């Protein structure tokens, strides 16, 4: 099991290498690091704690932390999508931290919603009564009670990427969609 200290050390080293800083809000940072650790245990790699991962390394490669979008986001907005990594002026409080748009292409996000091959048991339910019935995927829809952000994923995000509310602010809605 990867320790939280190891995850933090890795993030700190990476921030130092690229001239970034970790979010100065200790509790917020702790939640993100915990999310990274849990994703690493679940998938075998530390996928982004505020995005949906598929569990398929090839599909998720661009959102393994630090993701492909971190550098352009930190340069343009002063923060990565999750606000784990921030620019110096943001770290020092000279520039306010704000929600930023998702840079990951929609096509890649969509691939994460499809059941990954080999992991279909976890995400797919097949109706047992008739072989003619369409397989159904049970999707959990989470919404942030603070800002209304919605996302399909198994578990709520650790941090809302829009308003930065904590995981506890997410409520679940379960829906059935045809495959």
Nearer to ligand SF4, 136 or 154 (CB): 154
Q: Shortest distance, CB of residue 90 to ligand SF4, whole angstroms?
A: 13
Tokens of 146: 């603070």
What is the token pair recorded at 92? 């020092």
CB of 49 to ligand SF4, least distance (A): 6
Interaction between residue 149 and ligand SF4 (CB under 6 A): no
Query: Among the candidate windows 59-67, 109-117, 120-128, 139-147, which touches ligand SF4 by CB under 6 A?
Result: 59-67
Looking at the Cβ atoms of 66 and 169, the one nearer to ligand SF4 is 66
Q: Which residue has the tokens 């770290």?
A: 91
In DSSP terms, 178 is beta-bridged to 136
Indicate which single residue of 7, 15, 22, 48 sits in contact with ligand SF4 (rule: CB under 6 A).
48
Sign of CA dihedral 164, 166, 167, 170: negative
- Binding to ligand SF4 in span 66-105, by CB under 6 A: 66-67, 70, 80-82, 84-85
Contact status, residue 57 vs residue 38, Cβ threshold 8 Å? no
String of b and e for 25-43 (b: at least 16 CB within 10 Å)? eeebbebbbebbbbbbeeb
Q: Residue 84 CB, nearest distance to ligand SF4 (Å)?
A: 4
- For residue 45 the two structure tokens come to 């790699």
Contact indicator for 27, 83 with CB cutoff of 8 Å = no
CB-hemisphere CA count at 13 Å for 120? 8
The interface region with ligand SF4, picked from 60-68, 122-130, 149-157, 162-170 by CB under 6 A, is 60-68
Q: How far is 119 from 115, CA to CA, in rounded Å?
A: 7
Residues 8-47: x/- map of binding to ligand SF4 (CB under 6 A)?
Answer: ----------------------------------------
Q: Please give the residue ranges that form the binding site for ligand SF4 (CB under 6 A).
A: 48-50, 63, 65-67, 70, 80-82, 84-85
């Amino acid at each position: 099991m990867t320790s939280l200290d190891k995850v933090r050390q890795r993030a700190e080293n990476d921030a130092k290498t690229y001239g970034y800083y970790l979010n100065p809000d200790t509790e917020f940072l702790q939640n993100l690091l915990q999310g990274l650790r849990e994703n690493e245990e679940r998938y075998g790699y530390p996928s982004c704690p505020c995005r949906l991962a598929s569990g398929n390394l090839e599909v998720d490669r661009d959102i393994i932390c630090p993701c492909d979008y971190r550098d352009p986001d930190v340069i343009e907005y002063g923060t990565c999508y999750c606000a784990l990594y921030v620019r110096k002026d943001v770290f020092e409080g000279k520039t306010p931290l704000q929600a930023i748009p998702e840079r990951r292409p929609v096509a890649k996000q969509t691939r994460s919603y499809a059941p990954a091959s080999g992991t279909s048991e976890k995400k797919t339910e097949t109706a047992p009564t008739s072989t003619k019935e369409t397989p159904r995927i049970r999707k959990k829809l989470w919404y942030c009670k603070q800002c209304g952000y919605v996302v399909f994923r198994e578990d709520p995000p650790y941090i809302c990427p829009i308003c930065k509310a904590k995981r506890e602010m997410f409520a679940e809605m379960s829906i059935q969609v045809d495959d």
